[in-house]
Structure 1
């Protein structure tokens, strides 16, 4: 099973804890080495999912939306990003240079195209900017990729 991930960044710690547990449990249900995770490995759900896939013996493929993508991520996340990138069995690139909303959406479209299913850590609300989680979910649905939503009951975005 090839599973792509998208989701809100900057979630409160209680929501993060629940989402991490939910993702790990869902991945574990596929059995040892049952999952190929496809992720842009940004801070938040992208990297939590990627870590859970690798920890459970799955394979990780990374999508890099733009050559400047890493520099646009928080400095505190670079070590995790680099470690996950080093664990990737395949790396896919959009070929774009500037890390902007268009590149992020292009990366997400590439990710969806590589996946049998998209998992979305999504509150069901519209995207706060082009290329946000809602846009990725809408794109996946439009092209016929099944979407599984992860959102804790009563949770609020930060």
Structure 2
């Protein structure tokens, strides 16, 4: 399986550019019989799901659960999660609280443990209170997962006040 991590504050033009870039990258994995794995959410996870579908890569989406039942996502993630479910061939439930940043990072680590490769859309900046991309790249590397880091020319992140 192939997973994707990246900054949660990418601009809309950057997300549009990444969808095409990811489609090209994922086509090779689709030909090799791999599948993509993503934790449900807006922004980059949805772009990954769309690109996977366009590339012919089977998609598995992870939803948060409590006591074995799906739980409610943040309001901003609901529409994207619905689209990801439509794009997916399989859905997995994972026990975590989507409102708890630490639980989300733990869920991402769990997703990575099920993967052999990680695609990371990362500008090289350190992790902070909102963005765990650097941590997840380091986690994958220390776990022996192959990591492909890329930051396309022209990619941009939102200013802090825009990302809130």
Pick the TM interval, shorter chain. Answer: 0.7 to 0.9
Q: How far is the alpha carbon of 1:156 from its aligned partner?
A: 3.2
- CA 1:121–1:69 in structure 2 vs 1: closer, same or farther (change >3 Å)? farther
Q: How far is the alpha carbon of 1:130 from its aligned partner?
A: 6.6
Task: Tell me how far apart the structure 2 counterparts of residues 148 and 73 of structure 1 sit (CA, whole Å).
Answer: 31
Moved over 4 A (4+): 65-70
Q: How far is the alpha carbon of 1:28 from its aligned partner?
A: 1.8
Task: Tell me how far apart the structure 1 counterparts of residues 97 and 153 of structure 2 sit (CA, whole Å).
Answer: 38
Contact 2:2 2:37 in 1 (8 A): yes
Give the aligned partner of residue 56 of structure 1.
55
Q: How far is the alpha carbon of 1:61 from its aligned partner?
A: 1.1
Describe how 1:1-158 pairs up with structure 2 within 5 A.
Answer: 2-32=1-31, 34-67=33-66, 70-74=72-76, 77-97=77-97, 99-129=99-129, 132-153=132-153, 155-158=155-158
Contact 1:141 1:147 in 2 (8 A): yes
How many equivalent pairs are there?
155
Unpaired stretches in structure 1, ≥5 consecutive residues: none
| Greater CA drift, 60-69 or 124-133 | 60-69
State the TM-score, normalized to the length of structure 2: 0.80
- CA 1:7–1:66 in structure 2 vs 1: closer, same or farther (change >3 Å)? farther
Task: Tell me how far apart the structure 2 counterparts of residues 132 and 109 of structure 1 sit (CA, whole Å).
Answer: 11
State the TM-score, normalized to the length of structure 1: 0.83
- CA 1:48–1:38 in structure 2 vs 1: closer, same or farther (change >3 Å)? same
Equivalent position SS for 2:29: coil
| Greater CA drift, 111-120 or 4-13 | 4-13
